[in-house]
Amino acid sequence: MERLRRFDIAEYRRVTMVVVESDLLPPDPAVVVIPLLPDYPVVRYLNPEIRHGGQRLVLATRLIAAVRGSSLRRAGSAADQGDEITRAIDILMGGV
């Protein structure tokens, strides 16, 4: 299986999510992801809207988690929105 890269969009049990861990980390069975949900509350900078497959999904940053990489199926990329995703993680961790 191809290794997922940072900002890849993946699917896990019909949930869409974005990979947020660095590509510089050594391989691990787990991958850190943030779900992309259609009806999640938008908080400026913390929960940006991400475009995928003609949909506008909300980055549910507070639901950050790790899942087994072998359970994920690559479904696209959000690399063009990487700055907004990184800002959301910075807001979550640092509050600013």
CATH of the domain at 17: 2.30.30.110
Q: Is the pLDDT of residue 96 over 80?
A: no
Q: Is the pLDDT of residue 7 over 90?
A: yes
Q: What is the DSSP string of the chain?
A: -PPP-TTEEEEETTEEEEE-S-TTSPP-SEEEEEEEETTPPP-TTTS-EEEETTEEEEE-GGG-EEEEGGG-EEEEE-GGGHHHHHHHHHHHHH--
Q: What is the C-alpha separation between 69 and 6, in angstroms, rounded?
A: 13
What range defines the domain where residue 36 resides?
A: 8-94
Q: Give per-residue pLDDT as tens, 11-44.
A: 999 999 999 999 999 989 999 999 999 999 999 9
Q: For residue 3, is it within any domain?
A: no
Answer whether 68's CB lies under 8 Å from 38's CB.
no
pLDDT at 63: 97
Q: For residue 2, is it within any domain?
A: no
pLDDT at 95: 85
Residue 16 tokens, joined:
């869409």
What integer best gives the mean pLDDT of the chain?
A: 94
Confidence of residue 53 (pLDDT cuts 50, 70, 90): confident
Q: For residue 14, is it within any domain?
A: yes
The total domain count for the chain is 1
pLDDT at 1: 54
The structure's pTM equals: 0.93
